[in-house]
Amino acid sequence: MNEIILKYKRAMKLHDYNEATITSYRQHFQQFLRYFHNTMPEEIPLDDVRQYILYLVEKKKLSATAQNQSISSIKFYFNNIIHKPIDDFYLPRPRRPKTIPKILNEDEVSKILKSIDNLRNRSMIFLLYSAGLSLSELVYLRTTDIDSDNMKIFVRSAKGDKDRYVVLSEKVLKLLRNYYKIHKPKEWLFESSPGRRYVKRNIQKALQIAVKKSGVTKPATLSILKNSFAVHLLEKGVDIRYIQQMLGHKHSKTTMKYLR
């Protein structure tokens, strides 16, 4: 099993996936292997693979997003490692329910940000909101990705074909400079210890503490902050194509969900 996983990780790196996606796919694929008691995947009948997907839905109660990630992790092995495309046999993918994004108004966001006392936490969460970043994009920022001369941030997407630049705000730059003087990160912009990326769940926890302190009663997560960023730009009359580029959306219909 270890040899298969090592081969799997190498193949994903060769296909230019970032570390966050590699970790997610690897975890889903390892779960798949354990379910079949480490049988070589190519020896597993496709009907059994379909039964495994059903197991994820009925027993594990995975969300549509997690189900799709699991299917993608399985297909990656067949398509890119043993070159036996599973597309030929078709694995059904669940449809994610269409929902209107939850958002906070600008006053609520301001109250939350002002309630964060810790400089590093405030820098991280303010940056995520002001640049429309996902949590994974935030923790994978390197110190060299901040271009203060041109007021831009280089953002790595889950796949290398959608890397992008986003605007660096003056307020965030000031925060980052103060943060840098104190914490002196070595490699990653936000580190839990020298050379180690900051832990995602700690950022989520910091936000929830700030939300409680701020008195904001509406649901508030890091994803909701990102949604709010997009809607606030729309409310200010920013062109939706620019917002699409900022968020790294490949298709405009993904961005159109913010129009209400």
Q: What is the CA radius of gyration of the chain?
A: 20
Pairing of β 146-147 and β 164-167: unpaired
Task: Say which residue the tokens 């900051």 belong to.
Answer: 198
Helix/strand/coil for 167: strand
Rounded CA separation 79/87 (Å):
8
What is the reported pLDDT for 88?
46
Say if CB 152 and CB 141 are below 8 A apart: no
Reported as a single tens digit per residue, the pLDDT across 170-228 is 999 999 999 999 999 999 999 999 889 999 999 999 999 999 999 999 999 998 999 89
Residues 6+ apart with CB under 8 A from 140: 18, 19, 20, 156, 188, 197
CATH number assigned to the domain covering 2-88: 1.10.150.130
Strand (E) positions, the chain?
146-147, 152-155, 164-167, 191-193, 196-197
Task: Report whether 9 contacts 26 (CB < 8 A).
Answer: yes
**179 within 8 A of 120, measured Cβ to Cβ:** yes
Q: How far apart are CA 182 and CA 243, in angstroms?
A: 33
Q: Helix, strand or coil for residue 155?
A: strand
Q: Residue 244: name the closest of 236, 257, 224 by CA.
A: 257
Compute the distance between CA of residue 223 and CA of residue 101 in angstroms, rounded to an integer: 9
pLDDT at position 61 over 50: yes
Per-residue pLDDT tens digits for 239-260: 877 887 888 777 666 666 665 5
Average pLDDT along the chain = 86
Q: In what order do the strands lie in the sheet with 146-147?
A: 146-147, 152-155, 164-167
Q: What is the mean pLDDT of residues 116-136?
A: 95
CATH fold match for the domains 2-88 and 106-256? no
H or E element in which residue 18 lies? none
pLDDT of residue 95: 62
- Confidence (pLDDT) at 123: 97
Domain 106-256: CATH superfamily is Intergrase catalytic core (1.10.443.10)
DSSP state of 95: P
pLDDT tens, residue by residue, 18-38: 777 888 899 999 999 999 998
Write down the domain spans for the chain: 2-88, 106-256
Whole-angstrom CA distances from 95 to 32, 92, 209, 249 are: 21, 9, 34, 19
Please give the model's pTM, rounded to 2 decimal places.
0.64
Note the pLDDT of residue 83.
84
